[in-house]
Amino acid sequence: MRLFLDTTVAVLAIVTAVAAAPRTRSDAQRNALPLATAGDTAAIPSWDIQSSAKITQDLVSLSKSGAVSSTSAWHHAPLSRCTVMGCLIEAGVYNDSDLFFSDHLEAVDRTQFQVPWLYRSEFSIASSSSSSDNTSSTHYLLETNGITSRADIYLNGQQVADKVAQSGAYGGHIYDVTSAILSGSGKENDSSNAIVVRAYPTNYLQDFGVGFVDWNPYPPDNGTGVWRDINLRKTGAVAIEAFSVVTNGTNGTVTIQATVRNLDKAGVNFVANAVIARDNASPGLGATQSTTSSPSTQLGPGQTTRITLTATVDSPAIWWPRQWGDQPLYNVQLTVSTSSGTPSSSVVKSDTATKSFGFRIITATVSSADDIVFSINGKPFQVLGGGYTPDVFLRWDAARFEAHARYTLDMGLNTIRLEGKMEQPDLYDIADRLGLMVLPGWECCDKWEAWSYNDDLPKPTAIWSDADYATANASMRHEAAMQQSHPSLLGFLVGSDYWPDDRATAIYTTALADAGWQSPIVSSAAKTGYSKALGPGGMKMPGPYDWVPPNYWYDITDPATVDDNVRYGAAFGFGSEQGPGGGTPTLSSLKKFLSTADLDDLWRAPNKGLYHMSTAASSFHNRTIFNTALWQRYGAPNSLDDYLLKTQMADYEATRAEFEGFAANWGLAGAINTDASSTKRPATGVIYWMLNGAWPALHWALFDYYLHPAGAYYGVKAALGENRLEHVAYDYVRRSAVLINRSQNQSGVRMVRAELINAADGAVISNITTSTKERTTISTPNSSRVVLNNIQGIATLKDVGLLRLTLLDGQSSSANVISRSVYWLSGSGVDTLDWDDSNWYYTPVSKYASFQSLDKLPAANVTATRQPAANGTAGTTVLLENHSSVPAIFVSLNLVDAAGADVTPVKWSDNYVTLFPHEALALTVQELAPALGIKGVTRGVAVQVSGKNVAKATLAL
Ligand SMILES: *[C@@H]1O[C@H](CO)[C@@H](O)[C@H](O)[C@H]1NC(C)=O
Ligand SMILES: *[C@@H]1O[C@H](CO)[C@@H](O)[C@H](O)[C@H]1NC(C)=O
Ligand SMILES: *[C@@H]1O[C@H](CO)[C@@H](O)[C@H](O)[C@H]1NC(C)=O
Ligand SMILES: *[C@@H]1O[C@H](CO)[C@@H](O)[C@H](O)[C@H]1NC(C)=O
């Protein structure tokens, strides 16, 4: 029995001079798991961790309560889950602001992570004292959800699992630990229990981890540890092991399947009952829609059986992705109850589980040209997304993820791809609620794709052994069970750069089917090959990953015949990971992680390999491709500020062109169709590489680690934006305007206006509208069409011109503006692409477009004033007015707090705008932290204004 008195702790703290927080209660008391009744689940809430090199005790004795007389030799992490590095940061051993600064991460001793680390926790069980909740057949199940790379688990002196069974970051298992729990201190209530997990080191090439390829430096521990919760669940004799909810589309039929096990040594009778209720976001308020029960069934000792219940929801509300409608959700609560034999005997709840789901149907076809087309509820759905990464230390914060999700939707994207980064269960709940599609799958370039035919596999990765197939099976079963009911699941990619071999394909597809998987399964994200069982995946991965000019996406002679090996990543087919590599943060963010010397390198050493780019082993360690283009196109920077403004302009035009290119080529000439025999090559989807960074990175992110959106972000938002479901885009190759309608229900007569001026003096070069120049413009849902061809004056520009495209809701010039954007176009024409010299990461440019004369623009006089908020509009509105006869180029607004620091996350209606002479624009900003419950964020009190030819100013709010 362990006595842990306040005074003892205080004395220890003084003697050992360890700055541990005084503990007023024992760990076991603090860690009281609320397991009142059968069916309750609770996570082990906190951990003490230490290197196995520093602990000499064997795990049998260490896993007995009281075995550690003082935890001062351990690092305490008050978290239910953390990798070793995540725990050490939480325990104060490391500080992430310091680790992220310059190259400080290099200073962490990585050898300390080449031995196993121990996770230890003591806990009690807060059980119900009511006898009806505690039958003689109470059982306890320990549920793991993946421990990296593998683990031995001991509980109350008994070994629960070894590293062969408990293997892989996604290997989740259920262990019956009833005897270990009851042996704790002999009594269930008030018992003191101890659990020890020995987590083995992770080598991404030999183990099934959560890796980062060349995205960023590896975390020093390679993500080792209890990165997902370990749960304890209390049940009666019969436990629910696996549970799925299948809706078979949208007609209201719900099929609930579960595997149940009799944990007892005696036979039992059980009934299963499912209640379906509408999820009104407030627990308990959902109106019951349907209930269904199984007949009473007998189960022998240790036996399992699979039960199927069906129910019908009348007039089911249909779930849609955000851009197309609402996200109604339902819950199923499945309960199994036992009865002791005679029909009239008392029925006792034995186990219960809940899942949320929605009614929607997702299908995909692959055309004979090998392009995948997804459909949601029967409507062809163009996938526009970004590649998501977790935090480098795999720390999960639901509010922070929701900020990522809201940013994604605000930009107008509809999907995130998770390449082997399946995160935590909350991710899927948030995606369901917000209508954000999720495309998960396994990761490339390491153990996960260790196939003999994988030519790109780093040496010396061992190809899969029988044990590895078993780990893959457990991983797929676990992830499928966690994800399957969620309506936001667009599909599952069983391979990334390479397809799984036949044995693994069978394991994956069987596991998915057993789990009730309800969306397409794709063989891989690339055209390297495919298994016979799954067939071609219809996704391409030919790059680019580094800078390409805006015309790259549009440079397709004929969308009906374009060839993958000629036009690579251009806007046709489905690009599973590609982009111009942008995402340079602004100075305010850069100062948080770069030294003065690092900042200098950015513009004084344009070819230098940089620590905050990809790793030194990567093709993306330096910024040469991006910087060469920047120097040539925008002119050699004369200061850090000048460099950073030019990076934002380059990022903005690059991301806007990619997404406009794909959106424009979706429905062009009636190209979208789901006919598998089609040889047409519409742009069916694109995933930007990448959405965000695992740490403060200098590239590959649409917003930075500190959630500050800049050029790359507003470029995407200008192309797609949440409020730009109808939009007009500029095709750089045909010099045409393309009307894009990504809605499902907006249609009508529209007008498109194209105005071209000379940047240097604002002189009008051309001004045309569709009503006079072209036939009447009709906007129709889910389509795109060219509305103005070869816009007058662009081909003959002498110097930089500015093109303003406006989409108006009707034929009158006073009609509402639906979308408006400005493009800077070069008098030297578009960049000349050298397609024949393309490689897997970019296509070189042999002659650059020049915007260098923008450096000599006369200053524009722009004022910013606060406007009263329009009726019903949340947030703060700022009116920008250009009082000059010259344009005001690339004007940005930045919300700051009283100390002048960026306020994030933040949502501007538009930003980095270019104003024509005498033009005024009202921009609205909303702070997202209060609604998301993000703590410690200061409030905005002022807006900083700056631009290419606009003096810096600050507007106090
Ligand atoms: C992390 O994994 C890499 C292989 O991807 C390996 O070279 C390295 O030694 C590992 N680090 C540790 C601490 O085990
Ligand atoms: C689902 O619905 C389709 C068509 O409505 C039907 O052909 C199929 O058999 C159904 N599947 C199940 C499992 O009910
Ligand atoms: C829904 O579809 C399934 C499968 O086709 C069918 O069995 C069922 O009767 C349908 N239910 C309704 C309410 O139409
Ligand atoms: C920049 O990176 C590329 C690709 O890895 C490499 O070929 C080139 O030599 C690097 N440039 C410099 C100046 O190191």
Kindly report, residue by residue over 942-953, the tens digit of the pLDDT: 999 999 999 999
CA of residue 13 to ligand 2 center, whole Å: 66
SS (H, E, C) 159-214: EEECCCCCECCCCCCEEECHHHHHCCCCCCCCCCEEEEEEECCCCCCCCCCCCCCC
CA of residue 218 to ligand 1 center, whole Å: 8
Residue owning tokens 């230490």: 50
| More confident call, 279 vs 103 | 103
- Using 50, 70 and 90 to split pLDDT, how confident is the model at 3? very low
CA of residue 253 to ligand 2 center, whole Å: 9
User: Which DSSP category does 291 fall into?
Assistant: E
Residue 113, ligand 1, Cβ within 6 A: yes
Read off the pLDDT of each residue in 236-259 and give the average, rounded to a whole number: 94
Using CA positions, which residue lies closest to atom 1 of ligand 2?
248
CA of residue 150 to ligand 3 center, whole Å: 44
Domains in the chain, CATH or no CATH each: 7-128+147-229 (2.60.120.260), 238-357 (2.60.40.10), 361-537 (3.20.20.80), 858-957 (2.60.40.10)
Residue 17 has pLDDT above 50, yes or no: no
From 607, 622, 625, the mutation candidate for ligand 4 (largest count of ligand atoms within 8 A of CB) is 622
Token pair for residue 528? 């390297």
Using CA positions, which residue lies closest to atom 6 of ligand 4?
619
Nearest to 358 by CA among 415, 422, 436, 413: 436
Which atom of ligand 1 is found nearest the CA of 110?
Answer: 13
* Closest ligand relative to 249 C-alpha: 2
Residue 300 Cα distances to 257, 259, 348, angstroms: 20, 14, 18
Residue 222, ligand 1, Cβ within 6 A: yes
- Confirm if 355 and 332 have CB atoms less than 8 A apart: yes
| CA 518 – CA 618 distance, rounded (Å) | 37
| Tens-place pLDDT, residues 24-77 | 456 666 789 999 999 999 999 999 999 999 999 999 999 999 999 888 899 999
* pLDDT value for 499: 98
- DSSP string covering 747-811: -EEEEEEEEEEETTT--EEEEEEHHHHSSPEEE-TTEEEEEE-S-TTSTT-SS-EEEEEEEESSS
CA of residue 247 to ligand 2 center, whole Å: 9
Torsion angle of alpha carbons 418, 421, 424, 425, nearest 10°? 40
Residue 281 has pLDDT above 70, yes or no: no
Read off the pLDDT of each residue in 441-449 and give the average, rounded to a whole number: 97
* pLDDT value for 428: 98
Residue 188 has pLDDT above 80, yes or no: no
Which atom of ligand 4 is found nearest the CA of 624?
Answer: 1
* Closest ligand relative to 842 C-alpha: 4
Q: At what angle do helices 640-664 and 596-604 cross, to 10 degrees?
A: 60
From 545, 601, 604, 607, the mutation candidate for ligand 4 (largest count of ligand atoms within 8 A of CB) is 607
Report the predicted TM-score, pTM, of the whole model to 2 decimal places: 0.95
Using CA positions, which residue lies closest to atom 10 of ligand 1?
203
The mean predicted confidence, pLDDT, of the chain is: 92
Residue 469 Cα distances to 165, 445, 475, 477, angstroms: 12, 17, 10, 12
Residue owning tokens 């005084």: 22
CA of residue 549 to ligand 4 center, whole Å: 20
Which atom of ligand 1 is found nearest the CA of 221?
Answer: 13
User: Which DSSP category does 215 fall into?
Assistant: S
Neighbours of 676 (CB within 10 A): 11
Give me the active site residues, please: 497, 577
CA of residue 445 to ligand 1 center, whole Å: 14
* Closest ligand relative to 615 C-alpha: 4
Which atom of ligand 4 is found nearest the CA of 618?
Answer: 5
Read off the pLDDT of each residue in 79-93 and give the average, rounded to a whole number: 98
Residue 218, ligand 1, Cβ within 6 A: yes
Cβ-based neighbours of 750, under 8 Å, separated by 6 or more = 726, 739, 770, 777, 778, 779, 807, 808, 809, 810, 818
Return the SS3 of 920: strand
Residue 824 has phi, psi (to 5 degrees) of -100, 130
Which atom of ligand 3 is found nearest the CA of 312?
Answer: 13
Token pair for residue 402? 């929701």
% of the chain exceeding 90 in pLDDT = 85
Residue 589 has phi, psi (to 5 degrees) of -75, -40
Using CA positions, which residue lies closest to atom 4 of ligand 2?
248
Using CA positions, which residue lies closest to atom 2 of ligand 1?
203
Residue 94, ligand 1, Cβ within 6 A: no
CA of residue 114 to ligand 1 center, whole Å: 8
Residue 399 has phi, psi (to 5 degrees) of -65, -35
Read off the pLDDT of each residue in 147-152 and give the average, rounded to a whole number: 98
* pLDDT value for 676: 82
* pLDDT value for 398: 97
Residue 450 has pLDDT above 90, yes or no: yes
| CA 876 – CA 874 distance, rounded (Å) | 7
CA of residue 254 to ligand 3 center, whole Å: 9
* Closest ligand relative to 314 C-alpha: 3
| CA 61 – CA 66 distance, rounded (Å) | 10
H helices, E strands: number in the chain: 18, 49
* pLDDT value for 167: 98
- Confirm if 765 and 797 have CB atoms less than 8 A apart: yes
Residue 585 has pLDDT above 90, yes or no: yes
Using CA positions, which residue lies closest to atom 6 of ligand 1?
203
| Tens-place pLDDT, residues 389-413 | 999 999 999 999 999 999 999 999 9
Question: Left (φ > 0), alpha (ψ -120 to 50) or beta: where does 104 sit?
Answer: alpha
Residue 204, ligand 1, Cβ within 6 A: yes
* Closest ligand relative to 255 C-alpha: 2
Residue 181 Cα distances to 64, 67, 531, angstroms: 11, 16, 46
| Tens-place pLDDT, residues 895-932 | 999 999 999 999 999 999 999 999 999 999 999 999 99
- Using 50, 70 and 90 to split pLDDT, how confident is the model at 16? very low
- Confirm if 153 and 175 have CB atoms less than 8 A apart: yes
From 110, 203, 208, the mutation candidate for ligand 1 (largest count of ligand atoms within 8 A of CB) is 203
CA of residue 248 to ligand 2 center, whole Å: 6
Residue 2 has pLDDT above 70, yes or no: no
| Tens-place pLDDT, residues 317-358 | 999 999 999 999 999 999 999 986 555 467 899 999 999 999
Residue 291, ligand 2, Cβ within 6 A: no
Read off the pLDDT of each residue in 848-877 and give the average, rounded to a whole number: 92
Which atom of ligand 4 is found nearest the CA of 622?
Answer: 1
- Confirm if 528 and 556 have CB atoms less than 8 A apart: no
Using CA positions, which residue lies closest to atom 6 of ligand 3?
253
**CB-defined site of ligand 4, < 6 Å:** 607, 609, 619, 621-622, 624
Residue 20 has pLDDT above 50, yes or no: no
The answer to which of 102-116, 515-529, 611-625, 762-776 has the lowest mean pLDDT is 762-776
How does strand 329-339 pair with strand 268-279?
Answer: antiparallel
Using CA positions, which residue lies closest to atom 5 of ligand 1?
204
Using CA positions, which residue lies closest to atom 5 of ligand 3?
248
* Closest ligand relative to 516 C-alpha: 2
From 248, 256, 360, 519, the mutation candidate for ligand 2 (largest count of ligand atoms within 8 A of CB) is 248
Amino acid, single-letter form, for residue 625:
I
Residue 248, ligand 2, Cβ within 6 A: yes
Read off the pLDDT of each residue in 191-216 and give the average, rounded to a whole number: 95
Residue 132, ligand 2, Cβ within 6 A: no
Residue 135 has pLDDT above 60, yes or no: no
Return the SS3 of 479: helix
Residue 1 has pLDDT above 50, yes or no: no
| Tens-place pLDDT, residues 799-809 | 999 999 999 99
CA of residue 111 to ligand 4 center, whole Å: 29
| CA 676 – CA 923 distance, rounded (Å) | 45
Read off the pLDDT of each residue in 365-383 and give the average, rounded to a whole number: 95
Token pair for residue 384? 């526009």
CA of residue 597 to ligand 1 center, whole Å: 29
How does strand 139-144 pair with strand 174-176?
Answer: antiparallel
